Structure 1
Amino acid sequence: MICASSPGAWTGLVSAGSDHARQALRLARHECGAHFIAAAVLVLPQAAHADQNLLVADNGQVQCDASLKDLTRISLKNDQFASVSKVSTGNSSEDFSVVGEPVRGDIYLSVPEGFARASISFFGTTRRGYVYKFTCKVAGDEARQVFLTNADIEHPREFTDIAATALSDDETAIRLMRAMAQQLPADGFDVRWRPLAPVMAGTLKVQMLGQYRGVTLDGKILRLENRGPKPVTIGGEQVASTGAIAVSIGNPDLAPAQVTTAYIVEPHGEPGERP
């Protein structure tokens, strides 16, 4: 299992050349024991009233917040909406409207007075041919804005085809960790942003937010929350299987109600995987 005890250690590991990286990994296995990489990007929920800036992949799911009393604007970076597909319920208290803005290609959502559902869902197709599934929680009086960036447009050649290159599992794990921490696509991996129902591991609430599935390796992004009354120190055995190749925990020491993010790389189809 790859591990590091400080942000500097992780930064040095991922930025070093392949020979140095392999040497660091071998030393890490012998010396760092139960310590973990501590410089992963911490992904925390934004304030409800803030603009939402999201990175999304083609055919991915967008989870966002929509206004209950005002308009919600959804805008695409370097792209425009071409069409929106939704189901009409026939019940005015459960239906919502979508209006396209032709100049910028944005869409505007609104719900009627007395809207009875907690969320709305629909599909959006863009002029560049991408399709997204939207699930938006409805709450609040103020107008909302959602800004979407497509990962393939933003970083078209950020990562080479990992599956097609002759890399060791250690080298592949390093590159996959970097992709997950930056929420970027990784060629050779199928990215699925589909949050699962959270589970409890003692006082630790664990929820898988996304998954990178490859031919030989799988990557997972977990949200960890301390639901207990006392501080906890998170160990790798609490969030990863015994066969995990790499574990990165943004903040392994959580105060009550504090949240952090973990990134895990395991062999593909590892039995007993969590959550």
Structure 2
Amino acid sequence: MIATTPACLLGAGAVTFAAGTTQPRDINLRPLGMALIGAAIALAATPAWADQYRQAADNAQVDCVVSNHELTRISLVGDAFASVSKITTGYPYNDFTVTNEPVRGDIYLSVPEGFAPGRLSFFATSRKGYVYKFACSVGGPEAEQIFVSNPAIAGEQAQAWEAKSSPRDAAVRLVQAMAANSAPDGYTMRQVAAAPTRIGNVTVRFIAEFRGAALTGKVLRIDNRSAKPVTIDPAQLTPAGSLAVSVTDRELAPHGATTLYVVQDGSAGA
């Protein structure tokens, strides 16, 4: 079933469809357009060179690199460290220092000059009760930052975001978030390099996905390949059972393009 999108929520300019009807409802996605979606994909594809990002489940090992001269900060995404367990050797050149900062719950590591082992390891427990083993090699002199995310925490956040309203309204809110290039709490956004599919005079290309707990949002680019205007019918371009569908421009000029937003049950395939 495709959810109704109230006009007051999304304004005028684009169209969405309600369950059991082919009558369009106005929504305001036109000002965002393809430029915003392009920017979102570019940002998602840009690597962060300076910092280390790791994903780990409960009881998993986190491999990382620590500074041999400056501090190394380790931070949990959506959680905080509560305690750290390590062995003290009693020999200055074989030991390292761990400080658990109490306000943000981050860990700060430092190794002495000439740290003999070249590697270090310790256990850390988070405030949410997750335990991580850190196994780190000693790198260069620059300060290091390590950000650790746990998929279980992201799932909890996504469930909480979706539970703020009914499934129909949550699907509408996800359309709004995708159009605003704003991943909801706990959602992961990824760029998709899919080949375009030809459907009549248009091609449809899957370009981005927003995946949460119960919902998955997809962003598709539609191109008019003909020399004549084309009217877009979202029902013909989206999978059966979609929860919400919105298109930025229903009327496409010759060789024009638009954006289609689709929300499906989270168990739906890509």
User: TM-score under structure 2 normalisation?
Assistant: 0.50
The alpha-carbon deviation at position 54 of structure 1 amounts to: 3.7
Residue 24 (structure 2) pairs with residue 35 (structure 1): yes
2:50 to 82, 94, 99: 82
Q: What residue in structure 1 maps to residue 258 of structure 2?
A: 260
Q: Which amino acid aligns with 1:164?
A: A
Map 1:181-220 → 2, pairs under 5 A:
181-220=179-218
1:233 to 208, 231, 234: 231
Distance of aligned partners of 1:225 and 1:29 in 2 relative to their CA distance in 1, 3 Å threshold? same
Counterparts of 1:3 and 1:233 in 2: how far apart (Å)? 21
Map 1:99-248 → 2, pairs under 5 A:
161-164=157-160, 166=163, 167-248=165-246
Distance of aligned partners of 1:172 and 1:202 in 2 relative to their CA distance in 1, 3 Å threshold? same
The alpha-carbon deviation at position 178 of structure 1 amounts to: 1.5
The alpha-carbon deviation at position 182 of structure 1 amounts to: 0.7
Between 185-194 and 252-261, report the one with greater CA deviation: 185-194
Distance of aligned partners of 1:45 and 1:184 in 2 relative to their CA distance in 1, 3 Å threshold? closer
The alpha-carbon deviation at position 129 of structure 1 amounts to: 5.2
Counterparts of 1:168 and 1:40 in 2: how far apart (Å)? 22
- For the residue of structure 2 that corresponds to 1:175, the secondary structure is helix
The alpha-carbon deviation at position 82 of structure 1 amounts to: 2.8
User: TM-score under structure 1 normalisation?
Assistant: 0.49
Q: Which amino acid aligns with 1:179?
A: A
Counterparts of 1:208 and 1:263 in 2: how far apart (Å)? 10
The alpha-carbon deviation at position 81 of structure 1 amounts to: 5.2
CA deviation profile, 1:35-69 (whole Å, cap 9, x unmatched)? 255422543359xxxxxx944799x3249xxxxxx
RMSD of aligned Cα (Å): 3.8
Aligned residues between the structures: 164
Identity %: 29
CA deviation profile, 1:189-213 (whole Å, cap 9, x unmatched)? 2211223111111111111110011
Unaligned runs of 5+ in 2: 52-142, 148-155
Q: Which amino acid aligns with 2:50?
A: A
The alpha-carbon deviation at position 219 of structure 1 amounts to: 0.4
Contact kept? 2:216, 2:263, Cα under 8 Å: yes
Q: What residue in structure 1 maps to residue 45 of structure 2?
A: 61
Counterparts of 2:22 and 2:212 in 1: how far apart (Å)? 27
